[in-house]
Every structure is written in C-alpha cells, then in structure tokens.
Chain A
C-alpha cells in the first residue's frame, strides 16, 4: 500500500448526503477484474450532467473530495475506493462515512477524514468562493488546513501508523502465524467445514 503522510491539493465540494457506492461506481463497472481503469466510472450517472461539480473546469485536477454526511453507504465494493483513486483523489472529507467504505479506503491509502458537518460547510463555502484554495490534509498532525480554517481530526493510532508507513496488513498478520495455528488447534470439532480437505 502507498504510504500517506500529508497531501495538499485543490478540492471539490460535493454538497450531497448519502452518496452510496452505487453512485460512486455503478455496478456494471464491477465486472472488471483489475484494480485500475475505474476513473471514467466514478460518479458516472451524475457526470452526464455538465453542471455536476466534478465537471466544472475550476475543479479540474482537484485531489480532495469534500462530501456530505454518510458517504460510501451501501455495497462493500472496494471498486468505489479504486475509482476515487484512479480519478486522482487522495483524501475524502465527510462528517460520517459508512464503515465498510472507510475500512476499504484505509486499506488502499485513500485517507478518509471525519470532520463535523459545520466544518464541512465552512470548507464548502471557502472552496466555492475560491476554487483555487489549497487544502492540506496532514496525517502527521491529524489536521486539515485551508485558508483560515484549521481543523483537527481523529484517527485511531494503529490505522494512522499503518497509513504513515504504508504497511501491508497481510504481512503483519502472518507474523502471528503461531498464534493462528494455536487458535486453530483449539477450535471445536463441531464447527462447520465446506469440504473435507
């Protein structure tokens, strides 16, 4: 996984709540068997509208998405994270994320930043007023900075360290091989098995 320390870039204000993963990447894109090439599917239906915020020329090349509450609800599709990353987003800010989406993001190095809705509103106003505003998402300091706005955010320390160092979760778990084997040795015999192997 790519490490994330700090990122500065322009932002897109997405004034919508309950942005579900079917909107982020529609199901027909999920037939692909790779992790790349999803950028054109990102918000596919909404992007058909020339006025949709992602289509506005002043937001071209933006790398931080500032969205309404309950971002990433619905399906567990990790393709939603890949689509945001393939398009160029490095971080998403929202007052509330769906759990599975957030987990998927952190596993891929897409930083999801939880800020109060009131701060999100201030960021929206700032970015809409001046689309060239640079937003800094600083994981070292756990802080978002833009114009006169400085907002601290929480992220549990373990997840933060994994992101900062770009650690591979599977490698970390495999260091516990002896513990896993010991657990397996004490599993009851009545536990289900899909087949005799």
Chain B
C-alpha cells in the first residue's frame, strides 16, 4: 500500500524503531524563542549537557518584544529578564540568535521560512504550537513543550507516538475576495477544535495547489486550532520557486539533489487516509469568528447563532458562555458588530502578501473615527519590503499605526493589548477569552476583512466598501 506525504517524511526521520516503543525521530530544524526555552536551558545546565547540533538550531525574540520604542530599554522588568535570559543562554551555549533590533528578527514562524531554513521533507519543531506553519513546505512541523525543547537541544531527536492521517481536500476554486484565512476558519468550524486530534492533516486539491506559499502558511498555521498534530501541503513548483536563492536554500548540485528528493514527497495514489474531509471552495465567503474558540465561526453574512441550535450539550453550553463573554445577542447580524481595535499581523497573517492585501483596501480610505488599527509586520525583513513598496505610508496616511515586528497583539505578553471589554477584529489565530488582553473580545478575520472593518468600524468585507453609498460616491 502507498504512503501519505506525512508518512514518507516521518519514515525518513526514524532513528530507531522498536516494538512497544515510540519511534525516535530525528529533528532537522529546532527554532527557539524566549518564552518556552529558559527552563530547557536550565535543565541542560543542571545535567551538564550541551546543545547537540548548534548548526540545526536558531533563536529569535518575538513574544515579549515591544513594537514601539525598540531602541529603549524594555519597560516591563519581567519581559526584560526573559529576553536577557535568552540572550545569556544563547551566548553560553553558542546558539545563533536574532535579537530585537537585528535585521533578521521577527516572529519565529516568519523568520524560518524567509531564511529558506524551512524546506520540504524536513522535521521542524519549536516550543510553540504554531510551528504547524512550516508544514506549508511539505515539512513535518509541530509544536512541543519545554521538556521536549530540552530533549531536542540535548539529543536532536524526539520519541514520538504514531499519528493518524487526515486529508482535507479542497475542491473547486476560491471565489474572488475569499482568502486562505477564510478557508482555514471554515475548515475549523466544520471539523471542530478537537476534530484533528491525533492526526496530521494534509491539505490538498485544486484550491490548495493554487495558493501562494504565504497563503499555504496561513492555512497550515491554524492546523493546531483544529487540534491537529500538524498540517502539511505537498511541495510543488510554487514551493521550489519560493525557496530558490533564499539564504539557506541548497545551492548548485545540492539544489538539484534536493529538488529531486522533494518531488518524491507526494501522497501515493493508493495511499489511504484515516479520515477524509472534502470542502467545496466555491461555496466559501469571508468568514469570521463570533465566539471564544476558533471553531466558533460563521460566514460574515450570517448572524450570531442561537446556542439552542446545538444538539451537543457541551457545545451548547460553550456557545452560551461565549455569547455572554463576547457581549453578543442571538440573531444579531455579524456585520453589525462594532469594533474598537483592528490588528493586522502575527504568524498567521503578518507576511508581505497580507500587508499588501490590507494596504490595497486602505489605499485612499481612512480608518473610522474611534477605531485604533495596528499593523505589525511579522519580521524586520517583511517591514523593510513593505516600506520599499510604500505600504507603511498607505497605513499611516489612512490613520493606522505602523509598528515594529513581533507577535504584538496576538497574545497578551507585550504592551500591545486590548483593555477589558474592548473588541477587536484580528488577523491572528486565537479568540480565547483574554487572549489579546484581560477581558478583551476577539473576532478572527482575514487581512482584507480587517482593513474593511477598520474603515467602516464594524465587521465588513472589502465588497461592503463599494456597496456603501457614502464611499462609492
């Protein structure tokens, strides 16, 4: 019987396999950041161990870093200590680090791909659940906890229990104005936050093949929001073209050998997935979340659902709690929801194509009175590219704030946060209670919806800007 893409990559990394034991998997790339690594380095120190493969390890600073006044000392003393701890650990153990202020600094899942380190057929881990992003290249990439970070630092391997495979096949073509973000939000709403549990998802089908690398990263990024171990997309010409000539891409004969190998990384025709979900892309439209988990989403054209419509009692109760927390009423059109803040950025939607999409909507328009809009590039390189294209001017002229690279408002670890009761439209990945700041309310959206929402002050898509008579004039 044939094998799936995930099984092929897994098999190529098995160091030891024995009956009754998890496989020991070799890790090709280990990415570090300041939040989940300090206790791991402490563990190494206590046991007198070293980092086994410094040449397969890279650290960056992202979660705690401010996006304003980055040349000044970090105001929060606890955040400062965490960043200083990473710097001291990297210096002591010899790990390559891109700290705040460095040209290669940025969100860890933006930095790896743009350097060309994330490659097809590799295993990639990081102490961060959104490591699934790297699966867009046909890598087997998954988030790990701090104990596993220490394990990889010490051994460059991980004992891993077997996984199941799931195909999410996206037929047809995404309609104009519908993005990768809308697609993945719709997938999560369909299969649920636990739907992918124990599985590696392979996204496939014509609509996936048409996506750019950055759009594929958006899709794979949120695999964890469906509970999946990882998300993957088979590498193809789009992947190879993206990687060619990146700083760490193979060169010369190595490039040819790599591409020859990468071309073998496709699910065999006779391979069988443990589960298969089929989505028709042509039926999709801009999609937003209304609740407090990423599975609680609906088309922008819909209304806030009635919890009574759920047959499962725990889903019903979760929906009731979510509506109370979010301050929404049953039957309220989603388009009527007014926001205080709009955030464009994160490892989900902080790359150059995302910024271009948001800028395209904002060009010649203004952010609505009383709305704060933050645009935060995913890395310094993305920021430089955006500035070279004049996008920063588009943002600032429309009234948005153009910030320095980092995780920013995706999570409440740095100064960019919602105040209690504040509501955001956010291109990030999690709408959990308090995720963007204590008491904050989050609606997950695409960059295009974020920008249109900023202009109108309520959840909206770019199409609404044209149909609005005040703006069409």
Contact = CB atoms under 8 A, between A and B. Distances in A.
Given A20-B293, A31-B82, A33-B82, A107 B148 contact: yes
Given A16-B321, A31-B413, A169-B159, A96 B197 contact: yes
Which among A78, A158, A179, A190 has the greatest number of chain B C-beta atoms within 10 A?
Answer: A190
Interface stretch (B254-262, B278-286, B374-382): B254-262
Contacts of A197: 54-55, 94
A193 interface: yes
Interface in B117-138: 117-119, 122, 127-129, 131
B227 A104 contact: no
B270 to A, nearest CB: 27
Contact of A192 (B117, B128, B227, B261): B117
Interface stretch (A57-65, A130-138, A170-178): A170-178
Interface in A14-52: 15-18, 20, 22-23, 26-28, 30-35, 45
A30 B413 contact: yes
Given A17-B317, A33-B38, A190 B145 contact: no
A68 interface: yes
A8 B157 CA distance: 36
B145 A100 contact: yes
A11 B3 CA distance: 45
B299 interface: no
Contacts of A86: none
Nearest to A28: B412
B307 interface: no
Contacts of A195: 54-55, 96
A176 B24 contact: yes
Interface in A72-86: 73-79, 81
Given A22-B435, A192-B122, A27 B144 contact: no
B148 A103 contact: yes
| Residues of A in contact with B, size category | 35 or more
A176 B157 CA distance: 10
Contact of B129 (A27, A75, A176, A191): A75
B75 interface: no
A188 B261 CA distance: 10
Interface residues of B, number: 87
Contacts of A2: none
Given A22-B430, A173-B157, A70 B146 contact: no
A194 interface: yes
Nearest to A117: B314
Interface in B130-161: 131, 142-148, 150-151, 154-157, 159, 161
B20 interface: yes
A69 B194 contact: yes
Interface stretch (B28-36, B353-361, B393-401, B454-462): B28-36
B21 A158 contact: yes
A22 B433 CA distance: 8
Nearest to B430: A74
Contacts of A5: none
Interface of A: 15-18, 20, 22-23, 26-28, 30-35, 45, 68-70, 73-79, 81, 96, 98-100, 103-104, 107-108, 117, 156-159, 169-170, 172-174, 176, 179-180, 183-184, 187-197
29 contacts: A17-B314, A17-B317, A18-B293, A20-B432, A22-B434, A27-B411, A28-B412, A30-B35, A32-B78, A32-B82, A45-B433, A69-B314, A73-B194, A74-B129, A75-B129, A76-B36, A77-B145, A78-B39, A96-B197, A98-B194, A98-B197, A107-B148, A176-B15, A176-B157, A180-B157, A192-B117, A194-B54, A194-B96, A195-B96
A-B pairs, 9 with minimum CB distance: A104-B145, A78-B145, A33-B38, A190-B258, A76-B143, A17-B314, A107-B147, A190-B254, A190-B250
Given A30-B63, A33-B81, 15 more contacts: A16-B317, A22-B430, A27-B435, A78-B39, A98-B194, A104-B146, A158-B20, A170-B49, A170-B155, A173-B24, A179-B16, A180-B156, A183-B15, A184-B26, A184-B156
Interface of B: 15-16, 20-22, 24, 26, 28-29, 35-36, 38-39, 42, 47, 49, 54-58, 63-64, 76, 78-79, 81-82, 85, 94, 96, 116-119, 122, 127-129, 131, 142-148, 150-151, 154-157, 159, 161, 193-194, 197-198, 224-225, 227, 229, 248-250, 254-255, 257-258, 261, 293, 314-315, 317-318, 321, 411-413, 430, 432-435, 438-439
